[in-house]
Structure 1
Amino acid sequence: MPDTGRLRWLWLLLAYLSIGMAALGVVVPGLPTTEFVLLAAWAASRSSPRLSAWLENHRLFGQLLRDWRNGGLIARRTKWVSALGMSAALGIMLLTVDHLPSILFAAIGMGIGAAWIWSRPERPKG
């Protein structure tokens, strides 16, 4: 059930910002897409049934959301795309960034994100 008043507008703003970040994540290596799509869907469900339905039926994001609602599933293809994107981003950082702590911090963050993504099931249980 959508929230009312000012809180609804904050959820709506968060949903649109998250959609924008997810769209960027489709083309920018290392920027997550899945997490932003999930956040956008959650915020939209609290603020805009219309936006929530649009996300559910979106050609790129819809299946991801349906899989997530069907038991926290993440498709193997999505896992591979994510891993390759993070690897590419880390490779770019290794070639362009001279600050080792920044590279290590990014690598640790990507490693944690990758471990979480790969820990998710790919198919419904049973």
Structure 2
Amino acid sequence: MKPFYNAAGVLALLLGILGIFLPLLPTTPFLLLASWCFARGSERLHGWLLSHRVFGEYLRNFEGGRGIPLKAKIVATAMLWVSLLLAMRRLLETDRPLLVGVLLLTGAGVSIYLWRYLPTLRLERPGRG
């Protein structure tokens, strides 16, 4: 099973990196999936991802239960709903109201999890001297 987890982790990581540049492709879920897969497939790859200079701190905070920064929640929510609304508009043009309902429920579920159950990371502010 380890090769499967490693292959899935690499694919998720590549999709997450693409998501940095493609506005409708999410980055965070793919990075979290890559970390989860690597944790089960390869200590070395998981350690590399957690120590990565761009993604590492974010993933360590999430995996440590400390949550994600408020700014990340705001950006994720905005991107989620912009993407979903664009997709729903297109689906309504093709007369697919059931799929619109599925997207609404998915967006609501993700938003509820993000804002109610996922902790907001409190960033340390330097003391005023």
Q: In structure 2, which of residues 65, 68, 75 is the aligned counterpart of residue 71 of structure 1? A: 65
Call closer, same or farther: CA 1:92–1:63 in 2, change over 3 Å.
same
Instruction: Provide structure 2 residue ranges, at least 5 long, that are not aligned to the other structure.
Output: 123-129
Cα distance, 1:68 vs structure 2 = 1.0
Q: CA deviation at 1:90?
A: 1.9
- 1:39 positional shift: 2.0
Query: What corresponds to 1:41 in structure 2?
Result: 35
Paired residue total: 117
TM normalised by structure 1 equals: 0.77
CA RMSD of aligned residues (A): 2.1
- Pair 1:115–1:60, CA change in 2 (3 A): farther
Per-residue displacement from partner, 1:71-91 (whole Å, max 9, x unpaired)? Answer: 241211111111111111122
| Mapped pair 1:9 → 2:9 | no
Q: What is the percentage of aligned positions where both structures have the same residue?
A: 26
CA distance in structure 2 between the partners assigned to 1:88 and 1:60 by the alignment: 25
Q: Is 1:102 paired with 2:99?
A: yes
Unaligned 5+ runs, structure 1: 1-6
Q: Which has the larger radius of gyration?
A: 2
Moved beyond 4 Å, runs of 4+: none
